[in-house]
Chains A and B, each alone.
Chain A
């Protein structure tokens, strides 16, 4: 059974700092990995999607890397802003027979202070 873990569980940084969020998964036979942002009481917003054959993806101040063989992904946020405060979730997609399944990590709650 796939297990996805995120470290740290919570993080507080001052505005302007660069930071790294970590995600690890136990079964490397994944199709892709996706990073999401969730604001309190809200749904999910997709940030970056990395296919299993890719090593990284970038969008603005965000950069996500994937090391499939070691079961790890990182989300790098440059020059953090208070508006980045949210919970960040990583999720891996696997195919089981003809169906695909998304397994979520435990999340990292980020607070960026002024």
Chain B
């Protein structure tokens, strides 16, 4: 089946540094990818939609200058947490939709990466 990878799986950094997280669709192309954040014992919250060839769309309350998203190709999206602070510590998960066009309908299934755990000291 479709696979989405994330790198790194875990990162620990000092406050004030920037961290880049990569999301790759390994065997399919995705013009759109999604970035989620999950705090302990909470559900996933959509942060932004990454669009290949255009600007990302951010959800309300998410600072676009802090969470920089670049959809470099049809298989790669990156999320950079700039000037990270301890409150940014969280589990970041990306997803990419696999779209199968056929009768009687177009089916879209989201495939999720394994997540990146960020700890900012």
Contact = CB atoms under 8 A, between A and B. Distances in A.
Interface in A30-86: 31-32, 34, 36, 41-46, 49, 51
Highest count of chain B CB atoms <10 Å: which of A31, A36, A91, A104: A104
Chief secondary structure at chain B's binding surface:
strand
B108 A43 contact: no
B57 A99 contact: yes
A100 B107 CA distance: 13
A25 to B, nearest CB: 13
A3 to B, nearest CB: 11
B43 A102 contact: no
B111 A104 contact: no
B114 interface: yes
A41 B117 contact: yes
A106 B43 contact: yes
A98 to B, nearest CB: 10
Interface of B: 6, 32, 34, 36, 42-46, 49, 57, 91, 93, 95, 97, 105, 107-115, 117
Interface of A: 31-32, 34, 36, 41-46, 49, 51, 89, 91, 93, 99-107
